[in-house]
Amino acid sequence: MSVFNRVFRPTYGQMMSLLATLPLIVAVAAIAVLVAYQSRALAEREIQALEQQLLAAKKAELRNYVTQARNGFSHIYGRAAPDDQSAKDKVTQILAAMIYGQDGFFFVYDYDGTNLVSPRQTEFINRNWEGLTDSSGTPVVDEFINLARQGAGWHSFMWEKPSTGQEAQMVAYVVGLQDWRWAVGTGVFIDDVLGSVAAARAEVEARVQRTFVYIGAIALVALLVVFGSGMFLNLRERRLADAKLKELTQRVFDAQEEERGRVARELHDGISQILVGVRYALDNARRRLSRGERDAAQAPLDKGIDNLGTAITEVRRISRDLRPGVLDDLGLGPALKALTDDFADRTGIETEFNTVVFRNRLDQDSKIALYRIAQEALTNIERHSGATRVTIDLRGHAKGATMRIADNGSGLRKSASPTGTGLGLRNMQERIEQLDGDLRILASRGAQSGTVIEVRLPLSHLLPPGDEAGSKRVS
């Protein structure tokens, strides 16, 4: 079993293709069974109708034979007395001469069961056959006598064919000569009828089997088409997914390198320069102290202390940009408030932040995503929009949470760096798609008309009140 699993281990796409073909297989099988059942039922009705028609024709033929025979001796029987042996002998001679076809003949039995006429099977003559039955136990002579007593009737039984000596199905028509107490009749073998019926049934079965083959072939072609199409789409989607994955991986690498470059520039242009100034101030103070100029060393020491304070502030700012501690400690609202205040102080752009107390709380992934989207949006506004006013609104509602960022800048079409802005917008879109949210960007073409970025998160990302394992309350 383990070897089989190693050899045949379908992928997710192949499993989906197989599952997609399963309803088709079931439908085709159901159609095939229904078609076979309906075909057999219809054919059986037609075969039964054919059999009845053939038997009716045989019976009509027998009735005509008996009628003609009776007409042939009615002038003798009509004037004879019940005990007129001479008349009886004449009638038996007439009936014995009435043979037709290969196996057709007339037979006569008296009501006691004695055979009087049997031209093709003479061994039956003058012997009593009362109680005679065929190979299946069906009474023969007794039924002849019973039908004759009633006037006339049909009887079906197995009888030996004179021409072949083998048993075959016979249908006989018997009439009664009540004055003489005779049962007179003739029969016809219906093996040709049964053969025709059997041939018809065999043809029907062959047609049903051909229909099964046709349906199976059509189903096989359909399955191959469906499975082939599914595999083609699966391979195509897989190639597209691989391409997107490679593109995303490259973008992740690019973002990492960009972030590393930004941090390196911040450290080199900011922290490094400040620390160089601190070192210079401390070195200056050390030289003055070595010369005994204590009062003169105070100024460079104060300057070095101020520069260290500036360096500490820069380190905190860089750390906050990488991962703001207030986001984990106080929640999204205070983190966005600190972000907008720092943005306003750094850029001079008038910034307003509005929020309401959430009755529910955002999960950790949602807080990080909204904070990074706001951070990216403010960076784009600072670099490209030329805006003088920015508004950020954060609130929860019955359908989830919404953050709206609006500015009065030049809009996306006048961006100074389309490539950078496009990458930032793609980052926003991917972050919100991972949370099953929705991102809308509205921009006008007119100068100073501004841009609106609206982010919506579903209700599933809001934690119920009292969940201490969740994030801090957003306010």
DSSP string, 384-411: II--SEEEEEEEEETTEEEEEEEE-S--
pLDDT above 70 covers a percentage of the chain that reads 86
Query: For residue 372, which of 317, 318, 330, 332 has the smallest C-alpha distance?
Result: 332
Pick from 339, 345, 409: which is nearest to 373 by CA? 339
Q: Model-level pTM? A: 0.44
Residue 357, burial from CB neighbour count under 10 angstroms (0-12, 13-18, 19+): exposed
Mean per-residue pLDDT over the chain, rounded: 80
Total count of residues recorded for the chain:
475
Sign of CA dihedral 117, 119, 121, 126: positive
pLDDT on residue 143: 93
User: For the chain, how big is the Rg over CA atoms in Å?
Assistant: 54
Complete domains list, the chain, with CATH: 82-189 (3.30.450.20), 326-463 (3.30.565.10)
Beta bridge partners of 158: 169
Percent with pLDDT over 90 in the chain: 15
For 347-384, how does the pLDDT look when each residue is reduced to its tens digit (9 = 90+)?
888 898 988 765 447 778 888 888 888 888 888 888 87
Q: What is the mean pLDDT of residues 272-291?
A: 82
Looking at residue 133, its pLDDT comes to 92
pLDDT recorded at residue 307: 81
> Using one digit for the tens of pLDDT, what is the confidence trace for 146-159?
999 999 999 999 99
Contact status, residue 179 vs residue 82, Cβ threshold 8 Å: yes
Is the separation of the CB atoms in 146 and 169 below 8 Å?
A: no
Determine the average pLDDT of the residues in 27-46: 79
